[in-house]
C-alpha cells in the first residue's frame, strides 16, 4: 500500500477541473481592500477526524484535518487541503464505557 505524503493540496475541482474557489475569491477581495492580512487563508469549513481506537482512553489522538471549499464554476464542494495533526476529543466525542455501541430499536 502506498503511503500518503501530507499535507495534500487539491488545486482543481474534481468535477469540472476549475480552479476558482468561492471563499478564496472573497478573501482575495478583502485583501485588496486591506481588510485581511496577505498571509490569510479562507475555507468554507474544516473537519477533524480523530484516528483512535473507539474504546481507548486518551487525552489527545492523531487526527486527519480536512479543509473544504466550493467551486465557483460548478458549485461542487470538495476537499482543498488535508493534513495530519493532533486533536483533543471533546466530552461529546467519547462514548461512555457502560453504554452499548448503538441501539437497533
Strand 8-9: give its sheet, edge to edge. Answer: 8-9, 77-87, 61-70, 45-50
Per-residue pLDDT, 74: 98
Q: With helix as H, strand as E and coil as C, how does the chain read? A: CCCCCCCEECCCCCCCCCCCEHHHHHHHHHHHCCCCCCCCCCCCEEEEEECCCCCCCCCCEEEEEEEEEEECCCCCEEEEEEEEEEECCCHHHCCCCCCCCCCCC
Q: Per-residue confidence at 90, pLDDT binned at 50, 70, 90?
A: low
Asked if pLDDT for residue 94 goes beyond 50, the answer is no
Q: What is the pTM of this model?
A: 0.76
Residue with the larger pLDDT of the pair 102 and 92: 92
Tell me what the mean pLDDT of segment 56-66 comes to. 86
Amino acid at each position: 500500500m502506498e503511503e500518503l505524503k501530507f499535507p495534500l493540496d487539491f488545486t482543481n475541482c474534481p468535477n469540472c477541473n476549475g480552479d476558482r474557489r468561492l471563499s478564496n475569491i472573497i478573501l482575495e477581495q478583502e485583501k485588496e481592500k486591506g481588510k485581511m492580512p496577505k498571509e490569510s487563508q479562507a475555507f468554507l469549513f474544516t473537519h477533524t477526524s480523530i484516528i483512535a481506537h473507539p474504546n481507548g482512553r486518551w487525552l489527545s489522538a492523531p487526527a486527519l484535518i480536512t479543509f473544504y471549499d466550493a467551486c465557483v464554476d460548478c458549485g461542487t464542494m470538495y476537499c482543498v487541503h488535508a493534513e495530519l495533526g493532533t486533536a483533543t476529543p471533546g466530552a461529546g466525542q467519547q462514548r461512555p464505557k457502560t453504554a452499548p455501541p448503538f441501539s437497533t430499536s
